[in-house]
Amino acid sequence: MAMVCLTDFEEYAKAHLSKATWDYYAAGADECCTRDDNLLAYKRIRLRPRILRDVSVSDTRTTVQGKEISFPVGIAPTAFHCLAWHEGEVATARATEGLNTCYITSTYSTCSVEEIAAAAPSGYRWFQLYVYRERKLSEQLVHRVEALGYKALVLTVDVPYTGKRRNDIRNQFRLPPHLKVKNFEGVFEETSVPEEYGIPANTLDPSISWKDIYWLQSITRLPIIIKGILTKEDAELAVEHGVQGIIVSNHGGRQLDGGPASVHSGFCTLPGYSDRQAVIISCVIYQGEEGVREVLQILNDEFRLSMALSGCRNVAEISRNLVQFSKL
C-alpha cells in the first residue's frame, strides 16, 4: 500500500514496533491531555484562502538563522532513532541533508554527533542541549558540536525534572543492551544509581535559570535558541537575555500535562515545527533514510499545495490574516 500521508507512517510504525518502543515514542505525560491537545489544536485551525492570485509558480524556500532551507519544516530533536532503524540518526541526517532543511540533533541520540556529522557533511544541523548538574558534561558537548560545524545550540528549558510518562513506568522502559546514548559513551562509570532514559537518574540540573544563558554565551560563539517557551513573558525574557531564537514547544506533551498546545501560544521561530514526535520517528522505521525522505517530501508537497490553494506564491506572502481558529 502506498504511503500517502503521515498517518500512514504512524500506523505502520505502531504495527511493527514493540509495544514498549511504540509507547515510548508516542508517550505523553500523566493523562496525555496536552499531547492530545497538540493534535486537536491543529484541527481547529482554518485557512482564509485568497483567490485569483496567479499561483502558477510557487516558491517554498525560506531562511532560518540566515541559512536558506527548502521549506519551513525541520526535524525536531528526538531521541533513540536506533530503536526504530539500525542506522538511526545517521539515516535521519542524510535524508535531511538531501531535502535541504534543518535537523536538530538530540543529546539523547543513539549515534554520536561525530557519526552524524560524518554521514551528512553538508547538512544543516543544530544541536539540542540540556544543562547537567556536572556542567563539564554540557560544556564538552558544546565544544564538540562547535568543532564539528553544527550551526546553533538549541537549549531545552522545560525539563528541570522528567515528566511522568506512565506507560514508560509500566513497561519499565530501558534501552536494549546493544544501544547507548552515544554522546555519553564512556562518560558514566558503573553505578548503583537507577538509569533514566539511558543515563543515571538525577543527572539534569533543576537549578537551571536565566543566568545560565549568560554562562552558555560565555563558552560558545554559536547562536543560542531556546526550546520550551510557551508564554509571552518568557519570550520577552529570552530576547532580553540575547538569545537568537525561540522554539515554542511543550515537549510533545511529555513534560507538564495541562499546559497549552504549542500552536495556541501564538508565535513560532521555526514555522512548521510540530510536537508530533511519534510521527517524526515513525518515518525512520519505514525504510530508514528513504522513509524520512518520503515524509519530508510529503510535507513539502502538502505545504506547497496549501500555499497555492490559499493564494500564496511564496512564504513571505503567508500572514496571520490567512489563519483563524475555529471552535470544535
Instruction: Assign 3-state DSSP to the chain and report helix, strand, coil percentages, each to 5.
Output: 40, 15, 45
* 251 catalytically annotated: yes
Instruction: Name the residue with cell 543513539.
Output: 110
178 is in an annotated binding site: no
Of 143, 178, 251, 264, the active-site residue reads 251
156 is in an annotated binding site: yes
The angle at the Cα of 283, spanning 183 to 168, to the nearest 5 degrees, equals: 60
Q: How far apart are CA 127 and CA 286, in angstroms?
A: 24
217 is in an annotated binding site: no
133 is in an annotated binding site: no
* Residue 175, CB-side half-sphere exposure with 13 Å CA sphere: 21
324 is in an annotated binding site: no
251 is in an annotated binding site: yes
227 is in an annotated binding site: yes
297 is in an annotated binding site: no
165 is in an annotated binding site: yes
Instruction: Name the residue with cell 505523553.
Output: 28
Q: In the structure grid, which three cell numbers stand for residue 267, read together? A: 508565535
The angle at the Cα of 180, spanning 178 to 183, to the nearest 5 degrees, equals: 150
Q: In the structure grid, which three cell numbers stand for residue 100, read together? A: 535541504
What residues are annotated to the active site?
A: 251
Binding residues for FMN: 77-79, 106, 128, 130, 156, 227, 249
Binding residues: 24, 77-79, 106, 128, 130, 156, 165, 227, 249, 251, 254
